[in-house]
Amino acid sequence: MTYAVMTAGEKLPEQALLAKALEGALKLDRDTAAMSARRARGVLGRNLEEAAADALTEACEALGLPAFKIEEASLPALRPAAPAKKAVLEGGAAVITAGGTLLSAAPSDIAALAGGPVRHEITSTVKTTEGPSAGERAVRLGIMAATGLPIGLGKNKEVSKEVKSTELSFYLDILLADGARLRVHSDNFDFSGLKEKKTYSSQVNFRLLCADLAAFAPAAWKSSGLLAMLEGRPLAPAAYDSLEELEREELRLLAARGKA
């Protein structure tokens, strides 16, 4: 039997304290512990033997960090996310179009709201025109000087280079009490449900939708990225490195909510 260890409660503790707990319990160096604490999103250990899980839980509690262990077999299952296309909040219900069907949810039907900016690495090919290098020109000048032949300095050539950059996309997963998971992607969503509040910016519309859903379902637990958006804090430190990282926090939210 193996266990997972997670932080308790809705909000994540400070990363410095989490890193200190990981450093001591798992014998990690400081840099590795800091990186692990940032990416863990409150999931401090998975597939641990009971003794290791107990040691990690005790290390957290010694630092004043509420944590719990849970059997891996008892963890809630995350269903595949169904793409949500539109949401309308009216008449005490959230009517969401997802997977070609209409779902109506009351505030109590929404267990958690998890989302925020997610980093994506973009690779693009850029074509540039380059002339001969300084070394090539020097060789050709030497040949012309020695032979008197007008061979020229060489022709320009087209060069293709791969350029990597990082962009932010905005996602929100709506986790329902019955286990359904609906995913909003700001670049592929109909924000007309915002009515007169709708703007020409998908990112602004996304923030407005998140605020409306959070107000609609105040008892729903919220992820760290979503809380950063709602509280107007800088988003770069709260951004997820991948959708897998977002789902890791969703798993923690559901497990911790079940323990509360």
pLDDT digits (tens, 9 = 90+) for 137-173: 665 665 666 665 565 655 666 767 776 667 889 999 9
Domain count, the chain: 3
Angle between helices 15-25 and 30-40 (to 10 degrees): 120
Overall average pLDDT of the 85-91 stretch: 93
Do residues 34 and 113 share a domain?
Answer: no
What per-residue confidence (pLDDT) applies to 71?
A: 96
Do residues 117 and 131 share a domain?
Answer: no
Lowest-confidence region among 40-44, 85-89, 150-154, 256-260? 150-154
CA distance 84 to 75: 25
Q: Evaluate if residue 128 carries a pLDDT over 90.
A: no
Do residues 155 and 232 share a domain?
Answer: no
Most confident of 57-66, 143-152, 199-208: 199-208
Domain that holds residue 154: 126-163
Percent of the chain with pLDDT over 70: 85
Do residues 149 and 182 share a domain?
Answer: no
CA distance 7 to 30: 20
Burial of 42 from C-beta contacts in 10 A (0-12 / 13-18 / 19+)? buried
Q: Residue 87: which region, alpha, beta or left (left: phi > 0; alpha: psi -120 to 50)?
A: beta
Token pair of 31 as six digits:
């840099």
More confident residue, 156 or 55: 55
Query: Which alpha helices (DSSP H) does the chain contain, by range?
Result: 15-25, 30-40, 50-62, 134-147, 202-216, 224-230, 243-259
What per-residue confidence (pLDDT) applies to 120?
A: 81
Q: Evaluate if residue 230 carries a pLDDT over 70.
A: yes
Do residues 87 and 191 share a domain?
Answer: yes
Overall average pLDDT of the 95-100 stretch: 90
Do residues 90 and 206 share a domain?
Answer: yes
Do residues 135 and 116 share a domain?
Answer: no
Pairing of strands 101-105, 110-130: unpaired
The CATH number of the domain where 42 resides is what?
Answer: 3.30.1390.10
More confident residue, 14 or 218: 218
Token pair of 146 as six digits:
């020695």
What per-residue confidence (pLDDT) applies to 152?
A: 62
Do residues 105 and 159 share a domain?
Answer: no
Token pair of 197 as six digits:
């509040």
Confidence of residue 220 (pLDDT cuts 50, 70, 90): very high
Do residues 217 and 170 share a domain?
Answer: yes
Decide which of 111, 142, 163 is a domain's last residue.
163
Do residues 176 and 138 share a domain?
Answer: no
Average pLDDT of the chain to the nearest whole number: 88
What per-residue confidence (pLDDT) applies to 159?
A: 67
Do residues 147 and 169 share a domain?
Answer: no
CA distance 195 to 191: 8
Do residues 86 and 188 share a domain?
Answer: yes
Confidence of residue 33 (pLDDT cuts 50, 70, 90): confident
What per-residue confidence (pLDDT) applies to 260?
A: 82
Most confident of 37-51, 157-171, 211-225: 211-225
Residues β-bridged to residue 182: 82, 174
What per-residue confidence (pLDDT) applies to 162?
A: 73
CA distance 151 to 59: 74
CA distance 71 to 47: 9
What per-residue confidence (pLDDT) applies to 100?
A: 82
Lowest-confidence region among 20-29, 147-156, 206-215? 147-156
